[in-house]
Amino acid sequence: MTRSQRLQRALPAGVLAVVTVTDVVSGPEQVVLGLVVMAPLLAATTLGRRGTVGYAVLALVLAALLGVYDQQYTASTLLPQVVRLLAVAGGGVLAVGACSLRLRREAQLARLSAQAATTEAALQTAEALQLNLLGPPPRVAGLESAVRYLPASRHTQVGGDWYDAFPLPDGSTMLVIGDVAGHDAPAAATMAQVRAMLRAIAQRSTGSPAEVLCALDEVLAGLELHTLVTVIVAQVDAPSSAAGTRRFRWSNAGHPPPVLARAGGEVGLLAAAPESLLGIAPGVRRTDHTLELGAGDTLLFYTDGLVERRGAPLDDGLTWVVGELTRTGREPLDRLCDDLLGQLGGRVDDDVALLAVRVPG
């Protein structure tokens, strides 16, 4: 206990002592005994309920005894003395009530603080576990890249969002963004499995992104992993000319469309006819889409937590992310990603994973 705390706890007793001495020194004709009510009121601000009750009883007893010394029990002074005693008793009751309310609020504050600390610790643990599952930020030769992961503020568990980028044997680069349904440990475990299987299939396949998705869908069905997965698989070829242009192919299994920010300032969604998620109909035909990337062009892949807003249509979120890249699409990739997450205010309803890639030049 600090010196200040000891002083606060002794203050009610000091008030009683001062009032008693003042009343006695002043003589019977000077009645100040009613001031003893300050003691339980002060006790209510620092002590517990038992201490406050003790000071309330002590104040009433002292007021009654000082009334004898001050000759307040005669026919002419009895009524004012009774009123004074009732006032002291009422002040004691108010003090006990105020003390109970203070203790209740302090208990609520302590409980909320403990819950907040527990939630913060759980979020930090979940984020660390998720980042460990995702592995170190992917770095691929010939492309600039940046990644970010932001856990949902309303979840304290790991989830199924992931990003990936890795070189292929033919010299091209594969880019992946995906989301396994769920916000729990099984979803995270499934995400890790899907991510690893996709890597393995892509490394041994000479097919297009659509063929990689078809193979992955069939493997998931064969392993009886009954889960839904949205994912984009994309492939960036090595430079095809002295101008540094690159062929970009992608296939989308039910995932929000990536954003392309051209070096010249044009920004748009790489939207296409929607195709089914993985885990619904293995063997369904999937489509590749192709375009040319030039020096300075930027691609942003993201999970739905970036653009979904509670009570708002998805189109509003997509319009927002296009507008943000129109403003920041030529910034360094780390700054671009940090600005996007900063616009969310650090609180999202769903996990957010970002993968930003730029053709150097």
Taking only the tens place, the pLDDT of each residue in 79-120 is: 888 888 888 888 889 988 888 898 899 889 888 888 877 666
Residue with tokens 């006819």: 273
Separation between Cα atoms, residue 212 and residue 3, nearest integer Å: 71
Q: Which region among 113-122, 187-196, 238-247, 267-276 has the lowest average model confidence (pLDDT)?
A: 113-122
Separation between Cα atoms, residue 274 and residue 260, nearest integer Å: 18
236 token code pair = 């960036």
| Burial (Cβ within 10 Å: 0-12, 13-18, ≥19) of residue 278 | buried
Separation between Cα atoms, residue 28 and residue 20, nearest integer Å: 12
Residue with tokens 């998620």: 277
Residue with tokens 């970009």: 248
- 154 versus 315: the higher-pLDDT residue is 315
| Burial (Cβ within 10 Å: 0-12, 13-18, ≥19) of residue 7 | exposed
Q: How far is CA 218 from the centre of its chain?
A: 36
Strands 259-261 vs 298-302: parallel, antiparallel or unpaired: antiparallel
Separation between Cα atoms, residue 246 and residue 172, nearest integer Å: 10
Q: How far is CA 92 from the centre of its chain?
A: 45
- Structure confidence by residue, pLDDT tens digits, 217-226: 999 998 888 8
Contacts of 54 (CB under 8 A, 6+ apart): 43
Separation between Cα atoms, residue 24 and residue 4, nearest integer Å: 30
Length of the chain: 361
Q: How far is CA 74 from the centre of its chain?
A: 70
Question: Are residues 322 and 259 in contact, defined by beta-carbon separation less than 8 angstroms?
Answer: yes
Local structure of 284: helix, strand or coil: coil
Residue 207 has pLDDT above 80, yes or no: yes
Instruction: Give the closest residue to 355 by CA, choosing from 160, 133, 140, 163.
Output: 163
Residue with tokens 């005669």: 74
253 token code pair = 């299994």
Phi first, then psi, for residue 150 (nearest 5°) are -125, 115
Q: Which region among 62-71, 128-137, 241-250, 268-277 has the lowest average model confidence (pLDDT)?
A: 128-137
In three state form, how does the secondary structure of 326-361 look? HHHCCCCHHHHHHHHHHHCCCCCCCCEEEEEEECCC
pLDDT band at 77 (very low <50, low <70, confident <90, very high): confident
Q: What pLDDT was estimated at residue 245?
A: 87
For a pLDDT cut of 70, what percent of the chain falls above it? 90
